[in-house]
Amino acid sequence: MADHSIVAVFGSMNMDLSVACERMPRAGETVGGSGFITNAGGKGANQAVAAARMGAHTCMIGAVGRDTFGDVLVAGLQDAGVGVEFVTRLDGVETGTATIIRCESDSRIVLSPGANHALAGEDVARALRRLVADELDGDAREIAPAAGSVFIAQGECDLMATAAALSCAHELGFYTIFNPAPACDLPAGAWPAVDLVCPNETECQALTSVLPTDDASCAAALEALLAKGASAAVITLGGAGSVTLGDDGEPLRMSALSSTVVDTTAAGDTFIGALAAARLEGLPLFECMIAGARASAVTVSRLGAQQSIPTRAEVEHWFG
């Protein structure tokens, strides 16, 4: 790992509020609930925690309100070893929340982005430039000062800010990863700044109109993602693992690893965070996919979001 290398994550930070009920209430109806739980979440925060627990020097760029939920989310990141210098605390705007009603056959979610949409592209770019300067600590490198570092962005923050952040990170020399979740498309001019795009199968279909299932459709979907301008693409396929294009242009699959599935909430975020940590170590893409598969196999065996994400030692113990 390079002396100054870091995983920088620009993304969402949410407090998840979840309650169980026997059936969904009808319009105007109140039903009894049970099992109320709160979880630290947000795709950006989850991915940052995953990278940090894999041993990567990691920092979060994002925003929360100056409220109790914000306090909890920032403390959770710090406990996981994620740097929070570039997490902005805002007055007059609430921390993002996801309110989840779950029953045996259904779940419904209301997402309130709150502070997650407060940062503009220039805010993120300023943080990235400061981060690079701080990491270099006077070791001037005029070309690609962040070479060896990784930048991750998703779709839960303002899309124009995300596009601008990816462009700035790419210019600084970061290896950029874009996770288009929930499904979203970048402006055409931003795609060449994406070194790796990593959607799941439904997000991939939204971006390419191709649902990746067999080898032929996976190849078509991956080629369509590359045609947008990204340098590489990985599609996660849930229980079917993940897939990229090999050097021969044919689909190269990483199978999901055996695990007793308890909760898949943070599986995708764990995959991306672990993949980024492996990339920070200079591993080739397929080996990064293996690292993601190993970490996410442990995650799905546990309940919850961030609390289900394993450490590197736990992954190594799990797989021997």
Which of left, alpha, beta for 260 (phi over 0: left; psi -120 to 50: alpha)?
A: beta
The Cα 88–Cα 83 span in angstroms is 12
Helix (H, G, I), strand (E, B) or coil at 237: coil
Q: What is the DSSP letter of 111?
A: E
Strands 232-233, 235-236: pairing kind: unpaired
CB 299 within 8 A of CB 270: yes
Q: Which residues pair with 254 in a beta bridge?
A: 242
Check: CB of residue 183 under 8 Å from CB of residue 204: no
User: Could you tell me if 320 and 306 are in contact, meaning their C-beta atoms sit under 8 angstroms apart?
Assistant: no
Backbone torsions φ then ψ of 152, nearest 5 degrees: -120, 135
Residue pointed to by tokens 């209430």: 25
Angle between helices 68-79 and 43-53 (to 10 degrees): 20
- Residue 139 falls in the annotated catalytic set: no
Q: Specify the residue for token string 């795609």.
A: 191
**Cβ neighbours for 317, distance < 8 A, ≥ 6 positions apart:** none
Q: How far apart are the first and last CA of the chain?
A: 23
Per-residue burial over 55-93, b = 16 or more CB atoms within 10 Å of its CB, e = otherwise: ebbbbbbbbbbebebbebbbebbeebbbbbebbbebeeb
Positive or negative, the CA dihedral 315, 82, 140, 138 is: negative
Pairing type for strands 96-103 and 106-112 reads: antiparallel
Catalytic residue, from 67, 158, 195, 269: name it.
269
Q: Which residues are catalytic?
A: 269
